[in-house]
A and B are shown apart, each in its own frame.
Chain A
Amino acid sequence: MAFVLLLVIAFLAVPPVSAKEDVGYTICPSTSDDPVTTLRLSSSIGQGETNRHQFYIGSGVRYLEVYLDWGPSPNPDSLALTIYTPSWKNLGTLHDSIDGQTNDRIHIDIYPDSTYVDQGTWTFDVYGEQVSSRRSYTLNVYQHS
């Protein structure tokens, strides 16, 4: 009874969440309407699919390092990575060349304009942008304190 009541209140209190908040970012194809959330660091993905990975970042973290690796690939497969802050601010969709190299991996650092990055659950959507068959990949997130 109590649980049902709490659940009803919770549903009523949930605001609609959208990646299209007014934060000046371009919405790219990687934001699938129906991402598959995975609780693993490594996974596989097909053409047009989106896998969602979520990581909890604690307090006192100066910057994040993100490493998405889907190589080596015999085919010219391409994955894209969309990053959301804990407040669901879309930091943009990143492609292979974001780190200055086209090498089947995305390796970036995320720096806040304040001292520390936001504490909370960060969301990383991996999108199968150009995948000939299922492509396996690993996603690693490091917090630098």
Chain B
Amino acid sequence: MSTSTLRSGELLRLLSLTILFSMLLLVSVGSAAEYTILPSNNIGDEPGTPAAGETVQEIDPIPLWLFLLLCIFPQLTAAPIETLLPLKAVGYLGYRRVCRENALDNPRRLEILSFIKANPGLHFRELLRTMSVARGTLDYHIRIMVSEGLLKIVPEKGRIHYFIADSRYSIEEETLIVAMENDGLRGIITQIYQNQGARTEELAEESGLSKATIYTHVKHLENLGIVRSDRAGRHVRYTLTNNYSRALIVYVNIRNPESIRIPAEHAG
């Protein structure tokens, strides 16, 4: 392929980009709406309370990238944010590409990684709840760290749980950490640990859950390899498998959850 063909290709791409960009700047800023400002219906109530069963959402301030864009192009305030998303990429032109070597140069990303290291197995919503970081920011940094191999993900019951890539935990320990994030599963694991050989009826009675719910949870734990079932006559008895009994001790040492009381000789 000749150099002139390459150059004409580049010029064509540049021209297309320029036209698209110019079209974006021609976004109509016209608005037909007039507005009436009234004292809020919620005066005396909590702000954000639905007045007639409608959906109410508290709005976060705009993200930094949009703020920077609006500083340069204030007329873009009228543009739907969806049309501006491709421009996010333009902001990165001329900047170095994020790779594994420099991914943690970003202090916020390092902070998130350190938090996950200290709190392994948390899923996205928990991270969002416990860290003071915007949803979009958290999502962005986690995506980068996953793609650069700094974080690994463990899917479980429709949620994605995060561990640092060079986690010191064994597969059993990670599986248990993730299972213990689920309130229902945690309760059953704890019960079985304290009452090895427990029957479904006993687990249901102690937990207050139905036998069907207990059965579903226990089957799931069996599939994960955490629980073993043994038939004894008419009854099925459940015990923690040896690997996971050991993993539970590790879990207690890292989380020390109040709901679990491990005998002192085991707690290390």
Contacts and interface: CB of A to CB of B under 8 A. Distances in A.
Interface of A: 2-3, 5-7, 9-11, 13-15, 17, 37-41, 53-59, 62, 65-67, 83, 85-89, 91-92, 94, 98-101, 107-114, 117-123, 140-145
B75 interface: yes
Given A39-B61, A85-B31, A121-B70, 7 more contacts: A9-B25, A39-B63, A53-B61, A55-B59, A109-B41, A142-B56, A143-B56
B264 interface: no
A8 B7 CA distance: 22
Given A108-B40, A121-B70, A6 B17 contact: yes
Interface of B: 14, 17-18, 21-22, 25-26, 29-43, 47-48, 50-51, 54-64, 66-67, 70-81, 90, 93-94
A89 B58 CA distance: 23
Nearest to A114: B33
Majority DSSP secondary structure for residues of A touching B = mixed
Contact of A9 (B22, B51, B90): B22
Given A10-B73, A14-B75, A17-B74, A145 B54 contact: yes
Given A118-B31, A118-B33, A55 B62 contact: yes
8 closest A-B pairs by beta carbon, nearest first, are: A99-B39, A67-B47, A121-B77, A87-B31, A112-B33, A86-B78, A13-B25, A3-B93
Contacts of A91: 35, 37
Given A140-B48, A142-B47, A108 B38 contact: yes
5 contacts: A2-B93, A59-B80, A83-B37, A107-B43, A122-B77
B55 A145 contact: yes
Given A15-B75, A38-B61, A109-B38, A56 B81 contact: yes
Contacts of B64: 39
A109 B45 CA distance: 13
A141 B59 contact: yes
